[in-house]
Structure 1
Amino acid sequence: MRISLVAAISGVLAAGALAGCSTQTKAPFDQGVCYSVALPDAGEKAEPRFNVLARDQARIEDCAARLEDMRLRFLSMGGSNNDIVGAYQGQFIFLDRAGVWFGKTLEGQRFFALARTGDGRLATPGTIERAPAQ
């Protein structure tokens, strides 16, 4: 009896400690609103800023397209940042040279969503066809 009580108390304390360590940033959940996320500089303790980029976006892919438009506009004006972060209805959107990734938190896992084609456009990974090797 005593061992199981000690094990139960240890389990409760461990769960509480893990819950206290979770400081993951979550995206706002505003229906149809696409955000551009301004991240603080390295070493800065500020929170990320969520700036409205577009409203009335029907899907997360539409928000990713708005973010890609923004990225290309900045690059055409002489910018050099290829990595963009956005948010849509509780999920983060990450754009980089490889494509688009989605994640539930800013610091957590990311899931591949859209790939870049040979000419730089975005497409769902299953639609990209490669010529057979000869």
Structure 2
Amino acid sequence: MKFGYLIIYVPDVPASLQFFESAFGIATRFLHESNTYGELDTGETALAFAVDELAQMNFSGGHVAAHTSVKPLGIEVGLVTEDVPAAHAKALNAGATEIAAPLVKPWGQTVSYVRCPDGTLVELCTPIK
């Protein structure tokens, strides 16, 4: 078994891809011509976005759309950076909402949390040393 990708269902795939590029500096690797599916250039394991309508087609019982949930979903995307305060500020400037300001954890790692306009919860953190 191998972890191949993570798909986040969103209302607007190009907007989510653009947000991740402007907020976190991660470029788009692929966007389907239908604008219903796209991937970020995250290396071997893809971080992808698909429109909510595809989730509705795939799950007969529906799904909880992150952008309509008052609270963040119980899953996060972790992005590692040497400068969490700068990354946090850049994300907020790009339109993210602050969930938790940068804080040094007891084990020495600096961590913050932001919520993207599409509802995705992102942890910004320094590498664990």
TM-score over 0.5 for the alignment? no
Q: Report which of the two has the higher share of strand.
A: 2
What TM-score do the two structures reach when normalised by structure 2? 0.23
Q: Report which of the two has the higher share of helix.
A: 1
Higher relative CO (Cα under 8 Å, sequence separation at least 6) belongs to 2
